Structure 1
């Protein structure tokens, strides 16, 4: 697509989508795009809405496009398919811009970037979408050829068939559909309040009283929307952290205040759970991650929150790098992310079944090694953000069965399909 000195939100969204399809994480691609040039708050919101909406609905949008084409969809250049699908999304789900303006913009971009013939095809498809919009929003369109239930769910909820099958295996039919439906909606905004910074309690009380709040804990809340500019100011002060309330609860329900010290956060990432533990008064904490850039981000995060310095380094979670054993290990494992599709919808477009095999091998290695590291009487806390039993309780049971005497599971909190947060976490504690 052509560019200009002041790109429109649609063009920026297409750039973010293309970067994500090439391998970047959606949020990272979005952040890079929005910080590389001045963008107004309304345009930031629209770019975000378009990019996330595209990935939430990608498979449904492609099904609509394929239904309206007389040629093989794969014969179209990928950027043309993406642009038409984004136009379909805008017409069906956004009311900010008149439909005729949406059609005109995408048609002109395709004509300029590719050809008049492809622009004409886009014009025909998008005008038909305008005429049949009400049908495309409803369920009947996706069942016109009497598909089986799993195929219908995949089309309507824009999920690959293998993800739908896994969901149906993990939950009842009703709960599986609710989980799939959650992948189409933005999750509530989660905020965590920092007791190390004066004024946190007053801020918490004020924000928790807002009508948009759907749930609270002692130091966290989830709400449908926030005033982004105000929140950014509080973040800079270290008063709050954006963290899913579901993720906060997953950690808190394993009662970290009672963990024996020292505690090793073995997959610290960018420090969300590390900061959570320190804010909760967890002393004797070490943290590491295999990726040096994440360790650097974790260090910046702890400094932003005005938290004490802790032993922090780049290291494989298979062995503690400090020369002595921890008493407790937090293992927030790399996983398929199938429990947080609402927050990371690009997973639906990029994850494949073969990825699960590789992840399960990695999780098995990390869990086995960490259990071996712990002394008798130690504890391992295992957390994931996936609904896949083979990465959760199934994996733990397999490891413990194959290694008699290595440990025993003393608590387990499976993903809750009835959660109001649209995100699904697993946690368990294993005693050594």
Structure 2
């Protein structure tokens, strides 16, 4: 296997920030944190917060951290062929540092090989791995020689194992994808999931127009363009740095939301004055979208069982100037017991159900290593309970949308079929799965129910 390379640019990016912490070291520390159980996005946010980096440096740190996590399995196979000690027996600091160096050599086109090797060796010297610096240097130089010679990675003969190594996906997931999509569909899926996703924003029409936000961005030299078929969506690219410093963030002109997620809220067909329930709301992207569509008129309850994540819903609503959003700490599966007076009182209900997240592997690089068949079985049970119990809160003639960010039929089409087989009181007007792609963003599923 000869890996394809990202065209990520490091032109004019500094090698050190003013604290002397390289973007590569930040990425390495993210990998250490993720290996210890942290979520990649939170670990990256924490490390970037600790170290001031120029936009080019923070972009490189993000690409190295997320890319190395996505390609973990492939990188391990390379290291097992390059070194004498298998990765399973290497110390975590050495293993993840080698991942950072090797990822640059194999997958980033515009990082010079000398910079990739020398910077990785330098981190080893100053971060407690000085005695192993010659090992790091030798393995990476050997990798560079093999890469230059065009010799491929030796992969298993078994199809599912070979595809697992080639695309850096768990083998259980590869086997499922071959059933769901065939090998050609799997290739398209992995291409999307191993790519670095674009950053999408949703304009708050109560405070700004898309045209004005685009003008503001372009005036600041920021690459921005409208998203087709999404009236409030735009895509931004380039060296953005901290998104909170971009024009319009503090004044609530926009929020970050993947283009796929922007398709969901309009399916509810909410109207000003409606009473709406967002049953699994945090961090609030769809709650705020619904409130914007409602013209900030009516009543919207955002429910979540995570106190910390519910704070983010309130913070986002406040920044966007949305006053109709109420928050409640609760579990959707037991909400009717907690609020019996809510029986048949909502015009619209959104169940953005907890799921395996298989449609968001590009944006959440560590998700592929966290989920397994056992997790999915538990999630399916929870999804079934949410749908069966929350629909009892819907008014006669109301509408419920069940949505996930996965492409797993067990969590999507099968849930719809099982629910409809259990009752004659409801019908499904529409259901669709969209697989992850550069056009549609994350993969997702949505189904519309009415009585």
User: What TM-score results when the alignment is normalised by the length of structure 2?
Assistant: 0.85
Deviation at 1:378, TM superposition (A): 3.0
Q: Which runs of 5+ in 1 are unaligned?
A: none
1:431 aligns with 2:450: yes
SS in 1 for 2:195: coil
Deviation at 1:376, TM superposition (A): 3.5
Q: 1:16 to 1:304 in 2, by over 3 A?
A: same
Distance apart, 1:232 and its partner CA: 2.4
Q: Matched residue of 1:164: which SS?
A: helix
Distance in structure 1 (CA, Å) of the matches to 2:169 and 2:263 = 27
Shift in Å at residue 216 of structure 1?
4.9
Match 2:320 to one of 284, 287, 305: 305
The CA distance in 1 between the partners of 2:47 and 2:382, in whole Å, is 32
Distance of 1:145 and 1:272 partners within structure 2: 41
Instruction: Note the 1:67-78 alignment, pairs <5 A.
Output: 67-78=81-92
Q: Does 1:337 align with 2:357?
A: yes
- Cα distance in 1 for residues equivalent to 2:126 and 2:242: 36
Structure-to-structure mapping, 1:19-418, within 5 angstroms: 19-94=33-108, 97-110=111-124, 118-134=132-148, 141-142=152-153, 144=154, 147-198=157-208, 200-204=210-214, 215-222=228-235, 225=238, 227-228=240-241, 232-252=246-266, 254-257=267-270, 261-281=274-294, 283-318=298-333, 319=335, 323-324=341-342, 325-401=345-421, 403-405=422-424, 407-416=426-435
- Deviation of the 1:317 alpha carbon: 1.1
Q: Which moved more, 1:410-419 or 1:208-217?
A: 208-217
With over 3 angstroms needed to count, the CA separation of the structure-2 counterparts of 1:288 and 1:418, relative to structure 1, is closer
Displacement of 1:37: 3.5
Q: Unpaired segments of 5 or more residues in structure 2?
A: 1-17
Q: Which has the higher contact order (CA 8 A, sep 6+)?
A: 1
Question: Secondary structure in 2 aligned to 1:327?
Answer: strand
Contact 2:155 2:166 in 1 (8 A): no
**More deviation in 403-412 or 287-296?**
403-412
Q: CA deviation at 1:367?
A: 1.5
Give the drift of 1:9. 1.7
| 2:431–2:448 contact (8 Å) kept in structure 1 | yes
- SS in structure 2 opposite 1:236? coil
CA distance in structure 2 between the aligned counterparts of 1:224 and 1:135, rounded to whole angstroms: 35
Asked whether the 8 Å contact 2:287–2:325 carries over to 1, the reply is no
- Residues 1:173 and 1:6: Cα distance change in structure 2 (over 3 Å): same
Partners of 1:145 and 1:286 in 2: CA distance = 51
**Partner-residue secondary structure (3-state), 2:346:** coil
Write out per-residue CA displacement over residues 32-90 of structure 1, whole angstroms, 9 at most, x where no aligned residue. Answer: 11123433222212211111111121111111111223333211112211111111001
Provide the secondary structure at the position in 1 that maps to 2:249: helix
Structure 1 residue 7 corresponds to structure 2 residue 21: yes
Q: Is the 8 A contact 1:380 1:431 kept in 2?
A: yes
SS at match of 1:235: coil
- In structure 2, the CA distance between the partners of 1:425 and 1:60, relative to structure 1 (3 Å rule), is same
State the Cα RMSD in Å.
2.8
Residue deviations 1:134-175 (CA, integer Å, cap 9, x gap): 577xxx824x45623322221121111111122222223322
Deviation of the 1:242 alpha carbon: 1.2
Range moving further from structure 2, 209-218 or 351-360? 209-218
Alpha-carbon distance in structure 2 between the residues aligned to 1:11 and 1:383: 38
- Report Cα offsets for 1:343-369 as digits up to 9, x if no partner: 011112222222111211211221121
Distance (whole Å) between structure 1 residues aligned to residue 100 and residue 75 of structure 2: 8
Structure 1 residues 173, 213: CA separation in 2 closer, same or farther (over 3 Å shift)?
farther
Once the two structures are TM-superposed, the CA of residue 422 in structure 1 deviates from its matched residue by 4.3
Once residues 63 and 214 of structure 1 are traced to their aligned partners in structure 2, the CA distance between those partners, rounded to angstroms, is 39
User: Kindly tell me: are residues 229 and 12 of structure 1, through their superposed partners in 2, closer, same or farther at Cα, counting changes over 3 Å?
Assistant: closer
Pair 1:145–1:275, CA change in 2 (3 A): closer
For residues 245-302 of structure 1, what are the alpha-carbon distances to aligned partners after superposition, in whole Å with 9 as ceiling and x for unaligned? 11102333x2523699311001110110011111112633221111111111111101
